[in-house]
Structure 1
Amino acid sequence: MKIVPRRSIERGNANHGWLKTFHTFSFASYFDDEHAQFGCLRVLNEDRVEPHTGFGTHGHREFEIFSYVVAGQLEHRDSMGNLEILKRGDLQMTSTGTGIRHSEKAYGEEQVHFLQIWSMPYKGQLPPTYYTRHFTDEEKKDTWARIVAPAGESGVSDAREASGPAPVHSRLSLYATLLSPSASLPHAFPTDGPGALRKVYVHIVQTSGYNPEAAGGATVRVSGDGASVELREGDGAYIVGEAGKEMKVENAGDRVAEILLFDVE
Protein backbone atom coordinates (compact mmCIF):
# COMPACT_ATOMS: atom_id res chain seq x y z
CA MET A 1 0.00 0.00 0.00
CA LYS A 2 1.25 3.46 -0.87
CA ILE A 3 0.06 6.55 1.03
CA VAL A 4 1.18 9.97 -0.25
CA PRO A 5 0.07 13.00 1.80
CA ARG A 6 -1.34 16.10 0.13
CA ARG A 7 -0.64 18.80 2.71
CA SER A 8 -3.06 21.67 3.16
CA ILE A 9 -0.28 24.26 2.99
CA GLU A 10 0.71 22.90 -0.43
CA ARG A 11 -2.75 23.21 -1.95
CA GLY A 12 -3.54 26.06 -4.28
CA ASN A 13 -5.28 28.79 -2.31
CA ALA A 14 -6.66 32.28 -2.82
CA ASN A 15 -8.36 34.97 -0.77
CA HIS A 16 -10.58 37.08 -3.01
CA GLY A 17 -12.31 38.81 -0.10
CA TRP A 18 -15.74 37.39 -0.90
CA LEU A 19 -14.22 33.92 -1.45
CA LYS A 20 -11.56 32.06 0.48
CA THR A 21 -10.65 28.86 -1.32
CA PHE A 22 -8.27 25.91 -1.40
CA HIS A 23 -7.70 23.72 -4.47
CA THR A 24 -6.49 20.14 -4.05
CA PHE A 25 -6.22 19.80 -7.84
CA SER A 26 -5.36 22.27 -10.59
CA PHE A 27 -8.18 24.79 -10.89
CA ALA A 28 -8.66 28.32 -12.26
CA SER A 29 -5.30 30.16 -12.03
CA TYR A 30 -3.71 27.37 -9.95
CA PHE A 31 -1.92 24.74 -12.01
CA ASP A 32 0.26 21.86 -10.87
CA ASP A 33 0.65 18.97 -13.29
CA GLU A 34 1.50 16.66 -10.37
CA HIS A 35 -1.95 17.37 -8.89
CA ALA A 36 -4.22 17.52 -11.92
CA GLN A 37 -6.66 14.73 -10.98
CA PHE A 38 -6.82 11.33 -9.29
CA GLY A 39 -8.65 8.75 -11.34
CA CYS A 40 -11.97 10.33 -12.29
CA LEU A 41 -11.74 12.83 -9.37
CA ARG A 42 -10.93 16.15 -11.03
CA VAL A 43 -11.80 18.98 -8.58
CA LEU A 44 -11.81 19.13 -4.78
CA ASN A 45 -12.16 22.74 -3.65
CA GLU A 46 -12.76 23.82 -0.06
CA ASP A 47 -14.64 27.12 -0.34
CA ARG A 48 -15.79 29.75 2.11
CA VAL A 49 -18.15 32.35 0.62
CA GLU A 50 -19.10 35.55 2.43
CA PRO A 51 -22.78 36.56 2.94
CA HIS A 52 -24.60 38.11 -0.04
CA THR A 53 -21.86 36.99 -2.47
CA GLY A 54 -21.11 33.94 -4.55
CA PHE A 55 -20.48 32.44 -7.95
CA GLY A 56 -22.66 34.20 -10.53
CA THR A 57 -24.46 32.34 -13.30
CA HIS A 58 -22.02 30.38 -15.44
CA GLY A 59 -22.02 27.25 -17.59
CA HIS A 60 -20.69 23.70 -17.32
CA ARG A 61 -20.87 20.57 -19.41
CA GLU A 62 -19.59 17.00 -19.21
CA PHE A 63 -18.83 17.04 -15.49
CA GLU A 64 -20.51 15.57 -12.43
CA ILE A 65 -20.55 18.44 -9.91
CA PHE A 66 -21.52 18.06 -6.27
CA SER A 67 -21.52 20.28 -3.21
CA TYR A 68 -21.04 19.05 0.37
CA VAL A 69 -22.21 21.69 2.83
CA VAL A 70 -20.17 21.94 6.04
CA ALA A 71 -21.61 25.12 7.61
CA GLY A 72 -23.92 27.97 6.68
CA GLN A 73 -26.40 27.89 3.81
CA LEU A 74 -25.83 27.67 0.06
CA GLU A 75 -28.31 28.94 -2.54
CA HIS A 76 -28.34 26.94 -5.78
CA ARG A 77 -30.11 28.11 -8.97
CA ASP A 78 -29.83 26.51 -12.39
CA SER A 79 -31.16 26.52 -15.93
CA MET A 80 -33.21 23.38 -15.22
CA GLY A 81 -35.46 25.46 -12.95
CA ASN A 82 -34.03 24.28 -9.64
CA LEU A 83 -33.89 26.73 -6.74
CA GLU A 84 -32.76 25.29 -3.43
CA ILE A 85 -31.29 26.43 -0.13
CA LEU A 86 -28.80 23.83 1.10
CA LYS A 87 -27.63 23.55 4.71
CA ARG A 88 -25.28 21.41 6.79
CA GLY A 89 -25.71 17.76 5.95
CA ASP A 90 -27.08 18.47 2.48
CA LEU A 91 -25.44 17.10 -0.63
CA GLN A 92 -26.35 18.53 -4.03
CA MET A 93 -25.43 16.71 -7.22
CA THR A 94 -25.63 18.18 -10.73
CA SER A 95 -24.89 15.89 -13.64
CA THR A 96 -24.17 18.62 -16.18
CA GLY A 97 -24.22 16.34 -19.22
CA THR A 98 -24.80 18.27 -22.44
CA GLY A 99 -24.75 21.56 -20.55
CA ILE A 100 -26.32 23.63 -17.77
CA ARG A 101 -25.97 27.09 -16.30
CA HIS A 102 -26.08 27.64 -12.55
CA SER A 103 -25.15 29.95 -9.69
CA GLU A 104 -24.02 29.17 -6.14
CA LYS A 105 -24.25 31.87 -3.48
CA ALA A 106 -24.14 32.25 0.30
CA TYR A 107 -27.68 32.51 1.66
CA GLY A 108 -28.51 34.46 4.80
CA GLU A 109 -26.19 36.42 7.05
CA GLU A 110 -23.48 33.80 7.61
CA GLN A 111 -20.50 32.60 5.63
CA VAL A 112 -21.08 29.30 3.86
CA HIS A 113 -18.36 26.65 3.99
CA PHE A 114 -18.70 23.87 1.46
CA LEU A 115 -16.70 21.42 -0.61
CA GLN A 116 -17.04 21.71 -4.38
CA ILE A 117 -16.26 18.40 -6.04
CA TRP A 118 -16.13 17.49 -9.73
CA SER A 119 -15.70 14.09 -11.31
CA MET A 120 -15.39 13.01 -14.91
CA PRO A 121 -18.34 10.98 -16.26
CA TYR A 122 -17.89 7.56 -17.81
CA LYS A 123 -20.28 8.49 -20.64
CA GLY A 124 -20.74 11.72 -22.57
CA GLN A 125 -23.82 13.49 -23.92
CA LEU A 126 -26.00 12.60 -20.94
CA PRO A 127 -29.11 14.71 -20.27
CA PRO A 128 -28.57 17.20 -17.41
CA THR A 129 -30.04 16.00 -14.10
CA TYR A 130 -30.17 17.27 -10.52
CA TYR A 131 -30.30 15.43 -7.18
CA THR A 132 -30.28 16.33 -3.50
CA ARG A 133 -29.67 14.16 -0.45
CA HIS A 134 -29.48 14.85 3.29
CA PHE A 135 -27.36 13.04 5.88
CA THR A 136 -27.52 13.92 9.56
CA ASP A 137 -24.46 14.13 11.78
CA GLU A 138 -25.79 11.11 13.64
CA GLU A 139 -25.82 9.05 10.43
CA LYS A 140 -22.13 9.84 9.94
CA LYS A 141 -20.99 9.39 13.55
CA ASP A 142 -18.18 6.81 13.75
CA THR A 143 -19.28 5.04 10.59
CA TRP A 144 -18.75 5.42 6.85
CA ALA A 145 -21.94 6.89 5.43
CA ARG A 146 -21.98 6.27 1.69
CA ILE A 147 -23.28 9.55 0.33
CA VAL A 148 -22.44 9.25 -3.40
CA ALA A 149 -22.35 6.07 -5.51
CA PRO A 150 -22.37 5.12 -9.19
CA ALA A 151 -25.77 5.47 -10.87
CA GLY A 152 -27.49 2.18 -11.51
CA GLU A 153 -25.97 0.32 -8.58
CA SER A 154 -28.29 -1.55 -6.24
CA GLY A 155 -29.77 0.80 -3.63
CA VAL A 156 -28.92 3.97 -5.58
CA SER A 157 -32.12 5.83 -6.47
CA ASP A 158 -32.29 8.11 -9.51
CA ALA A 159 -35.10 10.16 -7.91
CA ARG A 160 -34.43 13.88 -7.47
CA GLU A 161 -34.83 13.52 -3.70
CA ALA A 162 -34.46 10.18 -1.94
CA SER A 163 -32.66 8.40 0.86
CA GLY A 164 -29.32 6.76 0.34
CA PRO A 165 -26.42 7.91 -1.83
CA ALA A 166 -26.74 10.42 -4.66
CA PRO A 167 -26.16 8.86 -8.09
CA VAL A 168 -23.05 9.89 -10.02
CA HIS A 169 -22.18 8.94 -13.60
CA SER A 170 -18.55 8.28 -12.64
CA ARG A 171 -16.60 5.33 -11.24
CA LEU A 172 -16.67 6.89 -7.80
CA SER A 173 -18.09 6.30 -4.34
CA LEU A 174 -17.88 8.93 -1.61
CA TYR A 175 -18.09 8.17 2.11
CA ALA A 176 -18.27 10.64 5.00
CA THR A 177 -17.73 10.23 8.72
CA LEU A 178 -17.61 12.27 11.91
CA LEU A 179 -14.96 10.31 13.76
CA SER A 180 -14.71 10.62 17.54
CA PRO A 181 -11.37 10.90 19.37
CA SER A 182 -9.62 7.48 19.61
CA ALA A 183 -12.17 5.91 17.25
CA SER A 184 -11.06 4.17 14.05
CA LEU A 185 -12.73 2.83 10.92
CA PRO A 186 -11.52 0.20 8.47
CA HIS A 187 -12.04 0.50 4.73
CA ALA A 188 -11.47 -2.33 2.28
CA PHE A 189 -10.34 -1.56 -1.24
CA PRO A 190 -13.10 -2.69 -3.65
CA THR A 191 -12.59 -5.97 -5.47
CA ASP A 192 -14.67 -5.07 -8.52
CA GLY A 193 -13.22 -3.15 -11.46
CA PRO A 194 -10.20 -3.58 -13.71
CA GLY A 195 -6.70 -4.35 -12.51
CA ALA A 196 -5.30 -5.44 -9.17
CA LEU A 197 -4.79 -1.96 -7.67
CA ARG A 198 -7.41 0.46 -6.34
CA LYS A 199 -7.32 4.17 -5.60
CA VAL A 200 -8.62 6.00 -2.53
CA TYR A 201 -8.41 9.70 -1.70
CA VAL A 202 -8.95 10.84 1.89
CA HIS A 203 -9.64 14.48 2.81
CA ILE A 204 -9.84 15.95 6.32
CA VAL A 205 -12.35 18.80 6.28
CA GLN A 206 -10.86 22.05 7.61
CA THR A 207 -13.64 22.81 10.08
CA SER A 208 -11.56 24.91 12.49
CA GLY A 209 -11.25 27.85 10.08
CA TYR A 210 -9.41 29.24 7.07
CA ASN A 211 -5.66 29.52 7.47
CA PRO A 212 -3.56 29.35 4.29
CA GLU A 213 -0.32 28.88 6.25
CA ALA A 214 -1.24 25.81 8.28
CA ALA A 215 -4.17 23.80 9.49
CA GLY A 216 -4.89 23.03 13.13
CA GLY A 217 -7.79 21.15 14.61
CA ALA A 218 -8.29 17.43 14.19
CA THR A 219 -5.48 14.91 13.73
CA VAL A 220 -6.06 11.72 11.73
CA ARG A 221 -3.82 8.73 11.09
CA VAL A 222 -4.22 6.70 7.90
CA SER A 223 -2.51 3.31 7.81
CA GLY A 224 -2.41 -0.06 6.15
CA ASP A 225 -0.06 -2.85 5.08
CA GLY A 226 2.85 -1.32 7.00
CA ALA A 227 2.37 2.25 5.73
CA SER A 228 1.19 5.11 7.97
CA VAL A 229 0.66 8.87 7.52
CA GLU A 230 -0.60 11.48 9.98
CA LEU A 231 -2.91 14.18 8.61
CA ARG A 232 -4.30 17.44 9.97
CA GLU A 233 -7.35 19.44 8.95
CA GLY A 234 -7.17 20.45 5.31
CA ASP A 235 -4.71 17.66 4.51
CA GLY A 236 -5.49 14.80 2.20
CA ALA A 237 -3.79 11.62 1.02
CA TYR A 238 -3.47 9.67 -2.21
CA ILE A 239 -3.70 5.97 -1.38
CA VAL A 240 -3.12 3.03 -3.72
CA GLY A 241 -3.56 -0.54 -2.57
CA GLU A 242 -4.42 -4.02 -3.69
CA ALA A 243 -8.06 -4.95 -4.21
CA GLY A 244 -9.44 -6.54 -1.07
CA LYS A 245 -6.72 -5.14 1.20
CA GLU A 246 -7.81 -3.11 4.23
CA MET A 247 -6.73 0.34 5.33
CA LYS A 248 -7.59 2.10 8.59
CA VAL A 249 -8.52 5.69 9.42
CA GLU A 250 -8.00 6.62 13.08
CA ASN A 251 -8.75 9.82 14.98
CA ALA A 252 -5.44 10.48 16.73
CA GLY A 253 -6.47 13.85 18.18
CA ASP A 254 -8.72 15.30 20.86
CA ARG A 255 -11.68 16.49 18.75
CA VAL A 256 -14.15 15.09 16.25
CA ALA A 257 -12.71 14.83 12.73
CA GLU A 258 -14.90 15.27 9.66
CA ILE A 259 -13.46 13.03 6.95
CA LEU A 260 -14.33 12.30 3.32
CA LEU A 261 -13.13 9.14 1.59
CA PHE A 262 -13.32 8.65 -2.19
CA ASP A 263 -13.08 5.26 -3.89
CA VAL A 264 -12.19 6.12 -7.50
CA GLU A 265 -11.17 4.57 -10.79
Structure 2
Amino acid sequence: MQFKFRANEDRGGADHGWLKTFHTFSFANYYDPFYEKFGCLRVINEDRVLPLNGFPKHSHKEFEIFSYIISGELTHKDSLGNIEKLKKGNIQMTSGGTGISHSEFNENLKEQVHFLQIWSLPFKNELKPKYFTRNFENFEKENKLLHIVAPIGYEGVEEIRECKGLTPIHSPLHFFASLLSPNKSVIHKLLSSINGKLTKKIYIHLVQTSGYNTKSASKDGKGPLIQISGGSELTKLGEGDGVFITSGKVGEEIKIENIGNGVGEVVLFEMDDE
Protein backbone atom coordinates (compact mmCIF):
# COMPACT_ATOMS: atom_id res chain seq x y z
CA MET A 1 0.00 0.00 0.00
CA GLN A 2 1.00 3.61 -0.53
CA PHE A 3 -0.36 6.46 1.62
CA LYS A 4 -0.80 10.11 0.60
CA PHE A 5 -1.78 12.39 3.49
CA ARG A 6 -3.81 15.53 2.84
CA ALA A 7 -4.30 18.13 5.56
CA ASN A 8 -7.60 19.84 6.25
CA GLU A 9 -6.29 23.28 5.27
CA ASP A 10 -5.24 21.96 1.85
CA ARG A 11 -8.82 21.16 0.87
CA GLY A 12 -10.76 23.55 -1.33
CA GLY A 13 -13.90 25.29 -0.16
CA ALA A 14 -15.45 28.57 0.81
CA ASP A 15 -17.47 30.45 3.40
CA HIS A 16 -20.60 31.78 1.66
CA GLY A 17 -22.27 32.87 4.88
CA TRP A 18 -25.31 30.60 4.59
CA LEU A 19 -23.00 27.75 3.48
CA LYS A 20 -19.59 26.78 4.81
CA THR A 21 -18.06 24.07 2.67
CA PHE A 22 -14.92 22.04 2.07
CA HIS A 23 -14.16 20.29 -1.22
CA THR A 24 -11.97 17.20 -1.38
CA PHE A 25 -12.00 17.36 -5.19
CA SER A 26 -12.25 20.16 -7.77
CA PHE A 27 -15.75 21.63 -7.49
CA ALA A 28 -17.47 24.92 -8.35
CA ASN A 29 -14.79 27.68 -8.23
CA TYR A 30 -12.15 25.39 -6.72
CA TYR A 31 -9.84 23.61 -9.16
CA ASP A 32 -6.80 21.46 -8.46
CA PRO A 33 -5.54 19.25 -11.32
CA PHE A 34 -4.15 16.78 -8.78
CA TYR A 35 -7.53 16.34 -7.06
CA GLU A 36 -10.19 15.94 -9.73
CA LYS A 37 -11.31 12.44 -8.76
CA PHE A 38 -10.10 9.27 -7.05
CA GLY A 39 -11.23 5.98 -8.54
CA CYS A 40 -14.96 6.38 -9.12
CA LEU A 41 -15.20 9.16 -6.50
CA ARG A 42 -15.80 12.58 -8.03
CA VAL A 43 -17.12 14.78 -5.17
CA ILE A 44 -16.81 14.76 -1.38
CA ASN A 45 -18.13 18.03 0.02
CA GLU A 46 -18.30 18.62 3.77
CA ASP A 47 -21.16 21.13 4.01
CA ARG A 48 -22.68 23.19 6.79
CA VAL A 49 -25.94 24.98 5.92
CA LEU A 50 -27.58 27.59 8.16
CA PRO A 51 -31.27 27.35 9.21
CA LEU A 52 -33.82 28.15 6.49
CA ASN A 53 -31.22 27.90 3.73
CA GLY A 54 -30.23 25.28 1.21
CA PHE A 55 -29.72 24.25 -2.38
CA PRO A 56 -32.74 25.09 -4.60
CA LYS A 57 -34.02 22.71 -7.24
CA HIS A 58 -31.31 21.70 -9.70
CA SER A 59 -30.66 18.79 -12.06
CA HIS A 60 -28.16 15.94 -12.23
CA LYS A 61 -27.33 13.26 -14.78
CA GLU A 62 -25.06 10.23 -14.72
CA PHE A 63 -23.95 10.49 -11.09
CA GLU A 64 -24.65 8.44 -7.98
CA ILE A 65 -25.17 11.05 -5.23
CA PHE A 66 -25.62 10.39 -1.54
CA SER A 67 -25.77 12.50 1.61
CA TYR A 68 -24.42 11.32 4.96
CA ILE A 69 -25.91 13.38 7.81
CA ILE A 70 -23.54 14.26 10.66
CA SER A 71 -25.84 16.60 12.61
CA GLY A 72 -29.03 18.60 12.07
CA GLU A 73 -31.75 18.00 9.48
CA LEU A 74 -31.79 18.06 5.68
CA THR A 75 -34.99 17.95 3.62
CA HIS A 76 -34.68 16.26 0.22
CA LYS A 77 -37.27 16.72 -2.55
CA ASP A 78 -36.95 15.38 -6.09
CA SER A 79 -38.69 15.08 -9.45
CA LEU A 80 -39.61 11.44 -8.73
CA GLY A 81 -41.92 12.67 -5.97
CA ASN A 82 -39.70 11.69 -3.05
CA ILE A 83 -39.79 13.92 0.04
CA GLU A 84 -37.52 12.98 2.94
CA LYS A 85 -36.39 14.76 6.10
CA LEU A 86 -32.98 13.29 6.88
CA LYS A 87 -31.38 13.28 10.34
CA LYS A 88 -28.17 11.83 11.81
CA GLY A 89 -28.00 8.17 10.92
CA ASN A 90 -30.05 8.63 7.75
CA ILE A 91 -28.55 8.27 4.32
CA GLN A 92 -30.20 8.93 0.96
CA MET A 93 -28.95 7.72 -2.39
CA THR A 94 -29.99 9.48 -5.60
CA SER A 95 -29.13 7.60 -8.77
CA GLY A 96 -29.16 10.37 -11.38
CA GLY A 97 -29.13 8.18 -14.48
CA THR A 98 -30.79 9.83 -17.47
CA GLY A 99 -31.76 12.84 -15.35
CA ILE A 100 -33.31 13.88 -12.04
CA SER A 101 -33.97 17.20 -10.31
CA HIS A 102 -33.80 17.68 -6.55
CA SER A 103 -33.46 20.24 -3.81
CA GLU A 104 -31.78 20.01 -0.40
CA PHE A 105 -32.88 22.43 2.28
CA ASN A 106 -32.40 23.02 6.00
CA GLU A 107 -35.93 23.73 7.23
CA ASN A 108 -34.91 23.79 10.88
CA LEU A 109 -35.47 27.19 12.54
CA LYS A 110 -32.45 27.09 14.86
CA GLU A 111 -29.83 24.47 13.99
CA GLN A 112 -27.44 24.21 11.06
CA VAL A 113 -27.16 20.94 9.16
CA HIS A 114 -23.73 19.34 8.76
CA PHE A 115 -23.39 16.61 6.15
CA LEU A 116 -21.15 14.99 3.58
CA GLN A 117 -22.35 15.10 -0.02
CA ILE A 118 -20.71 12.42 -2.14
CA TRP A 119 -20.81 11.88 -5.91
CA SER A 120 -19.61 8.75 -7.65
CA LEU A 121 -19.37 7.76 -11.31
CA PRO A 122 -21.73 4.87 -12.21
CA PHE A 123 -20.92 1.50 -13.78
CA LYS A 124 -22.66 2.63 -16.98
CA ASN A 125 -24.62 5.54 -18.38
CA GLU A 126 -28.29 5.86 -19.31
CA LEU A 127 -29.56 4.18 -16.13
CA LYS A 128 -33.11 4.78 -14.93
CA PRO A 129 -33.19 7.42 -12.13
CA LYS A 130 -33.82 5.88 -8.70
CA TYR A 131 -33.91 6.88 -5.04
CA PHE A 132 -33.00 4.84 -1.94
CA THR A 133 -32.96 5.63 1.77
CA ARG A 134 -31.56 3.78 4.79
CA ASN A 135 -31.06 4.42 8.52
CA PHE A 136 -28.10 3.46 10.71
CA GLU A 137 -28.11 4.15 14.45
CA ASN A 138 -25.16 5.57 16.39
CA PHE A 139 -24.70 2.42 18.47
CA GLU A 140 -24.09 0.45 15.28
CA LYS A 141 -21.02 2.63 14.58
CA GLU A 142 -19.61 2.88 18.12
CA ASN A 143 -16.11 1.37 17.98
CA LYS A 144 -17.11 -0.60 14.90
CA LEU A 145 -16.63 0.05 11.20
CA LEU A 146 -20.18 -0.12 9.87
CA HIS A 147 -20.76 -1.03 6.23
CA ILE A 148 -23.29 1.49 4.89
CA VAL A 149 -23.08 1.60 1.06
CA ALA A 150 -22.23 -1.24 -1.34
CA PRO A 151 -22.45 -1.88 -5.10
CA ILE A 152 -25.53 -3.44 -6.62
CA GLY A 153 -24.66 -7.10 -7.08
CA TYR A 154 -22.80 -7.32 -3.77
CA GLU A 155 -24.21 -9.84 -1.29
CA GLY A 156 -27.03 -8.39 0.82
CA VAL A 157 -27.73 -5.34 -1.37
CA GLU A 158 -31.42 -4.93 -2.25
CA GLU A 159 -32.75 -2.45 -4.82
CA ILE A 160 -35.66 -1.43 -2.61
CA ARG A 161 -36.45 2.21 -1.89
CA GLU A 162 -36.46 1.77 1.89
CA CYS A 163 -35.42 -1.25 3.95
CA LYS A 164 -32.83 -2.48 6.44
CA GLY A 165 -29.31 -3.20 5.30
CA LEU A 166 -26.83 -1.82 2.81
CA THR A 167 -27.54 1.20 0.64
CA PRO A 168 -27.35 0.31 -3.09
CA ILE A 169 -25.05 2.18 -5.46
CA HIS A 170 -24.42 1.73 -9.19
CA SER A 171 -20.64 2.15 -8.66
CA PRO A 172 -17.76 -0.08 -7.54
CA LEU A 173 -17.78 1.75 -4.20
CA HIS A 174 -18.14 0.74 -0.55
CA PHE A 175 -18.68 3.30 2.22
CA PHE A 176 -18.09 2.68 5.94
CA ALA A 177 -18.40 4.84 9.06
CA SER A 178 -17.24 4.58 12.67
CA LEU A 179 -17.64 6.56 15.89
CA LEU A 180 -14.29 5.70 17.41
CA SER A 181 -13.54 6.37 21.08
CA PRO A 182 -10.07 7.14 22.47
CA ASN A 183 -7.81 4.07 22.78
CA LYS A 184 -10.12 2.04 20.55
CA SER A 185 -9.32 0.60 17.13
CA VAL A 186 -10.99 -1.17 14.22
CA ILE A 187 -9.58 -3.27 11.39
CA HIS A 188 -10.70 -2.97 7.77
CA LYS A 189 -9.98 -5.93 5.51
CA LEU A 190 -10.06 -5.05 1.83
CA LEU A 191 -13.07 -6.68 0.20
CA SER A 192 -13.29 -8.90 -2.83
CA SER A 193 -14.57 -7.13 -5.94
CA ILE A 194 -17.77 -8.00 -7.81
CA ASN A 195 -15.79 -7.20 -10.97
CA GLY A 196 -12.84 -9.44 -10.15
CA LYS A 197 -10.41 -6.58 -9.50
CA LEU A 198 -7.48 -7.52 -7.24
CA THR A 199 -6.27 -4.01 -6.33
CA LYS A 200 -8.15 -1.28 -4.49
CA LYS A 201 -8.13 2.42 -3.75
CA ILE A 202 -9.15 3.65 -0.29
CA TYR A 203 -9.85 7.11 1.07
CA ILE A 204 -10.20 7.68 4.83
CA HIS A 205 -11.39 10.98 6.31
CA LEU A 206 -11.88 12.29 9.85
CA VAL A 207 -15.01 14.45 9.95
CA GLN A 208 -14.87 17.92 11.56
CA THR A 209 -17.44 17.20 14.27
CA SER A 210 -16.05 19.85 16.66
CA GLY A 211 -16.94 22.72 14.32
CA TYR A 212 -15.88 24.57 11.19
CA ASN A 213 -12.11 25.11 11.13
CA THR A 214 -10.02 26.09 8.10
CA LYS A 215 -6.77 25.19 9.86
CA SER A 216 -5.34 21.82 10.79
CA ALA A 217 -6.37 20.29 14.09
CA SER A 218 -4.07 17.30 13.72
CA LYS A 219 -1.67 17.88 16.58
CA ASP A 220 -3.43 20.19 19.05
CA GLY A 221 -4.08 17.38 21.56
CA LYS A 222 -7.66 18.54 22.19
CA GLY A 223 -9.66 16.26 19.94
CA PRO A 224 -9.53 12.88 18.26
CA LEU A 225 -6.35 11.85 16.49
CA ILE A 226 -6.74 8.86 14.20
CA GLN A 227 -3.73 6.72 13.40
CA ILE A 228 -3.98 4.79 10.13
CA SER A 229 -1.60 1.92 9.44
CA GLY A 230 -1.34 -0.64 6.66
CA GLY A 231 1.62 -2.62 5.35
CA SER A 232 4.68 -0.48 6.10
CA GLU A 233 2.72 2.82 5.92
CA LEU A 234 1.44 4.96 8.79
CA THR A 235 -0.16 8.39 9.11
CA LYS A 236 -2.25 10.38 11.60
CA LEU A 237 -5.45 12.30 10.91
CA GLY A 238 -6.85 15.25 12.82
CA GLU A 239 -10.32 16.59 12.09
CA GLY A 240 -10.70 17.42 8.41
CA ASP A 241 -7.58 15.50 7.38
CA GLY A 242 -7.66 12.58 4.97
CA VAL A 243 -5.44 9.91 3.47
CA PHE A 244 -5.51 8.50 -0.05
CA ILE A 245 -4.38 4.88 -0.21
CA THR A 246 -3.37 3.18 -3.45
CA SER A 247 -2.07 -0.28 -4.42
CA GLY A 248 -4.13 -2.03 -1.76
CA LYS A 249 -4.73 -5.71 -2.42
CA VAL A 250 -7.85 -7.72 -1.67
CA GLY A 251 -7.47 -9.32 1.77
CA GLU A 252 -4.94 -6.80 3.12
CA GLU A 253 -5.77 -5.04 6.38
CA ILE A 254 -5.83 -1.41 7.49
CA LYS A 255 -5.83 -0.55 11.20
CA ILE A 256 -7.68 2.57 12.34
CA GLU A 257 -6.95 3.66 15.92
CA ASN A 258 -7.97 6.70 17.97
CA ILE A 259 -4.85 7.81 19.87
CA GLY A 260 -6.27 11.24 20.72
CA ASN A 261 -8.99 12.69 22.95
CA GLY A 262 -12.69 12.59 22.17
CA VAL A 263 -14.74 10.49 19.80
CA GLY A 264 -13.74 10.66 16.13
CA GLU A 265 -16.23 10.18 13.29
CA VAL A 266 -14.27 8.32 10.65
CA VAL A 267 -15.50 7.53 7.15
CA LEU A 268 -13.82 5.10 4.76
CA PHE A 269 -14.35 4.70 1.02
CA GLU A 270 -13.12 1.56 -0.72
CA MET A 271 -13.34 1.23 -4.50
CA ASP A 272 -11.97 -0.87 -7.32
CA ASP A 273 -8.74 0.28 -8.91
CA GLU A 274 -9.19 1.63 -12.41
Q: Could you tell me how far 1:142 is from its partner in structure 2?
A: 1.0
Identity of aligned residues (%): 52
- In 2, Cα distance between equivalents of 1:136 and 1:196: 32
Corresponding residue of 1:258: 265
The root-mean-square deviation of aligned C-alpha atoms, in Å, is: 1.1
Contact 1:133 1:164 in 2 (8 A): yes
- Are 1:246 and 2:253 matched, yes or no? yes
Contact 1:173 1:262 in 2 (8 A): yes
Corresponding residue of 2:241: 235
Q: Could you tell me how far 1:154 is from its partner in structure 2?
A: 1.8
- In 2, Cα distance between equivalents of 1:77 and 1:151: 24
Q: Could you tell me how far 1:60 is from its partner in structure 2?
A: 0.3
Corresponding residue of 2:146: 145
- In 2, Cα distance between equivalents of 1:243 and 1:148: 18
**Alignment partner of 2:34: what SS?**
helix
Corresponding residue of 1:52: 52
Runs of at least 5 residues in structure 2 that lack an aligned partner in the other structure: none
- The more displaced of 113-122 and 242-251 is 242-251
Q: Could you tell me how far 1:197 is from its partner in structure 2?
A: 2.5
- In 1, Cα distance between equivalents of 2:197 and 2:254: 18
* Cα displacement string for residues 9-62 of structure 1 (whole angstroms, at most 9, x for unaligned residues): 000010000000000011111010111111001100000000011101110000
Corresponding residue of 1:206: 208
- The more displaced of 104-113 and 241-250 is 241-250
- The more displaced of 85-94 and 153-162 is 153-162
Contact 1:206 1:215 in 2 (8 A): no
Runs of at least 5 residues in structure 1 that lack an aligned partner in the other structure: none
Corresponding residue of 1:176: 177
**Alignment partner of 1:175: what SS?**
strand
- In 1, Cα distance between equivalents of 2:53 and 2:205: 26
Aligned residues: 265
- Are 1:108 and 2:112 matched, yes or no? no
Q: Could you tell me how far 1:152 is from its partner in structure 2?
A: 2.5
Q: Could you tell me how far 1:190 is from its partner in structure 2?
A: 2.5
Contact 2:216 2:241 in 1 (8 A): no
1:110-125 residue pairs with structure 2 within 5 A? Answer: 110-125=111-126
Normalised by the length of structure 1, the TM-score is 0.97
**Alignment partner of 1:138: what SS?**
helix
Letter in 1 for 2:127: L
Contact 2:47 2:115 in 1 (8 A): yes
**Alignment partner of 1:9: what SS?**
helix
Contact 1:13 1:212 in 2 (8 A): no
Q: Could you tell me how far 1:196 is from its partner in structure 2?
A: 4.1
Q: Could you tell me how far 1:195 is from its partner in structure 2?
A: 5.0
- The more displaced of 193-202 and 180-189 is 193-202
**Alignment partner of 1:35: what SS?**
coil
Q: Could you tell me how far 1:213 is from its partner in structure 2?
A: 2.3
1:37-76 residue pairs with structure 2 within 5 A? Answer: 37-76=37-76
**Alignment partner of 2:140: what SS?**
helix
